[in-house]
Structure 1
Amino acid sequence: MQQGYPMDWDKLRIFHAVAAAGSLTHAGDILHLSQSAVSRQIRALEESLSTVLFHRHARGLILTEQGELLFDATKSMSRRLDAASARIKDSAEEVFGELKVTTTTGFGTLWLAPRLPALYEKYPDLNIDLMLEERVLDLPMREADVAIRMKEPSQADLIRKKLMSVRMRLYASQEYLDKEGTLDEIEEIGRHRLICQAPSAFQVSAGATLTQHLLSYDKPRLLHMNNYFGVLQGVLSNLGIGVLPDYVIEDFPGLVRVLPDIESGEVPTFLAYPEELRQSKRIMAFRDFVQDEIIAHRKSIRDARTG
């Protein structure tokens, strides 16, 4: 039996660039190689594997089934190399480079993004790639470097820290209440328009439970949104009473809390990142920034209550 030889790393690097670009020409531009040089390396790799990796046609290249298998492997290798590169770069004292942060649309737009100037002022060479989506990204597979989530992460090999607890409450603009009348009892909800996330939209269970409780009374008119940023815009536009997380109040002090005795259960908020990035100075800088902002956020709420 003939003994196999390990695949050439350089050929794999070129294959990965071609698969990602879908074109020999584009890959050559990225790699600073001629199209013919890239083509020779791909043919050599196919010969060494005794398989065809690409279907070639006029519009570009499409991976074969075997090519897809190899591309999955090179993507995993690329992520691991990126992680190693990040750790090596972060061994210096400077905090710089890209940091991929994922969180929900509501928290990212309403709480995190308005506070980023303080982070950039301290670390001007740090570049944040902020990914706002409800889908839970795979941190161990480096879909993101750090996450802020509205529940404790269940993935293994993560360092997690509880940041704060959030509650869903009812808010309206003063202009809306002046026009439509105040709401003193929950039984009066039927006289108003309720702005909330649609039942089919991804949301924290505490928010959905609160909304279901409100709808068990006289059914109000409804305006459904698919995230809390939309709910807030509806409230600010004087369209009704919104179900919103309590962290919005600090930045929108003009909102009026409606039915103060009505609120959801606690929603724990966690910051998480992979074990392998434990020593990353970018992660540490972001973690410390968020914790400092949380402390300032709590103090402002306490001051508002006592004031």
Structure 2
Amino acid sequence: MKDWDKLRIFHAVADAGSLTHAGDVLHLSQSAVSRQIRALEESLGTTLFHRHARGLIMTEPGEMLFEATRSIARKLDTTSARIRDSEEHVFGELRVTTTTGFGTMWLVPRLAKLFTRYPDLKIDLMLEERVLDLPMREADVAIRMKEPSQADLIRRRLLNIRMRLYASQTYLDQAGSPTELTDLAPHRLICQSPTTPQVSSGAALVQMLLAQNVASTLMVNNYFGVLQGVINHVGIGVLPDYLTHDFPHLVRVLPEIESNEVPVFLAFPEELRGSRRVSAFRDFVLEEIQQMRRPAEDD
């Protein structure tokens, strides 16, 4: 077996932290993987892993080698993506990350249009509040509620949003419509906890509202849950204003109360500038944003 194959096996073991798991990925037996790791260690004259009952821990030389193989793997991924991209045809996997709220309530409902346009596209959608590392290729494209600070990213501002108060007309008919901030006290507030990972302006608004000593609260750790509470008449919810296009029956409560403006950015690594899949996804999102901005009478 050539040394390149040994490096590939080493990378899989270092990434998995286990000979068994690496073997599963590589479709090799644990003993075959172990032999190749030992052969690589002998050829380099060093120990790459400390072995113990709970798994493997990389030595300092192992970490140095893993950094090198990880860089090679990223470059291979990028090159493979460019090779697979076609000037006429968009296909293959695109890894997209965004927040749970924006992904579930805005992006996913629109993806049928994208798949109709590009039926061979495969999207791996990662919804989480954690900011994935685009230069490290944890994702290909990100839609984030703040401007990315990492270097070597192409970014595009999509829109600005604010968190506002909404309720269903049914709830307001039953519980009454507050006309000033202090009127919130007898109502049920549906929101994310200020300690939940979210944009700081949204957390600040919630903290201010909770200070009104509201009688009852429903805390949900994402905006999709808050939306479900609002449309099912549970109470008054704190939601992003982009929802009003898709949920026109939401009734805004206390229009003078809102969060600071939150910028929404689309970003991807500079090395994917020429990717047809990335361009197709970016253009699609921009088209949908423009559609959303049109006056209601044009819909």
Calculate the TM-score normalised by the size of structure 1: 0.87
Unaligned runs of 5+ in 1: 1-6
1:32-86 Cα offsets, whole Å, 9 max, x none, are 5566654443222010122233455788x52442434433432332122111211
Change (3 A) 1:160 1:23: closer
**Match runs of 1:161-240 below 5 Å:** 161-240=156-235
Verify: 1:80 aligned to 2:101, yes or no.
no
Q: Return the offset for 1:233.
A: 1.8
Q: Return the offset for 1:115.
A: 0.6
Q: Is the 8 A contact 2:188 2:235 kept in 1?
A: yes
Q: Is the 8 A contact 2:50 2:59 kept in 1?
A: no
**Match runs of 1:44-59 below 5 Å:** 44-55=39-50
Q: Secondary structure in 1 aligned to 2:179?
A: coil
The code of the aligned residue for 2:188 comes to: R
Residue number among 258, 264, 267 corresponding to 2:262 in the alignment: 267
Q: Secondary structure in 2 aligned to 1:212?
A: helix
1:230-287 Cα offsets, whole Å, 9 max, x none, are 2112212322100100111222223211122322222111111111111110100000
Equivalent in the alignment of 2:296: 303
1: CA distance between counterparts of 2:51 and 2:91?
41
Change (3 A) 1:201 1:30: closer
**Match runs of 1:82-161 below 5 Å:** 82-161=77-156
Equivalent in the alignment of 2:253: 258
Q: Over the residues paired in the alignment, what is the CA RMSD in angstroms?
A: 2.5
Verify: 1:65 aligned to 2:54, yes or no.
no
2: CA distance between counterparts of 1:178 and 1:50?
77
Q: Is the 8 A contact 1:95 1:281 kept in 2?
A: yes
Q: Is the 8 A contact 1:167 1:246 kept in 2?
A: yes
Would you say how many aligned residue pairs link Structure 1 and Structure 2?
Answer: 297
Change (3 A) 1:303 1:34: closer
1: CA distance between counterparts of 2:135 and 2:191?
33
Q: Secondary structure in 2 aligned to 1:14?
A: helix
Q: Secondary structure in 2 aligned to 1:98?
A: strand
**Match runs of 1:21-40 below 5 Å:** 21=16, 27=22, 30-31=25-26, 37-40=32-35
Q: Return the offset for 1:191.
A: 1.5
Q: Return the offset for 1:160.
A: 0.7
2: CA distance between counterparts of 1:216 and 1:54?
54
Runs of 4+ in 1 over 6 A off after TM superposition: none
1: CA distance between counterparts of 2:20 and 2:235?
55
1: CA distance between counterparts of 2:12 and 2:204?
48
Calculate the TM-score normalised by the size of structure 2: 0.89
Q: Return the offset for 1:29.
A: 5.8
Q: Is the 8 A contact 2:194 2:204 kept in 1?
A: no
Unaligned runs of 5+ in 2: none
Q: Return the offset for 1:197.
A: 1.4
Q: Return the offset for 1:207.
A: 1.5
Q: Return the offset for 1:211.
A: 2.3
Q: Return the offset for 1:137.
A: 1.1
Q: Is the 8 A contact 2:189 2:214 kept in 1?
A: no
2: CA distance between counterparts of 1:100 and 1:234?
30
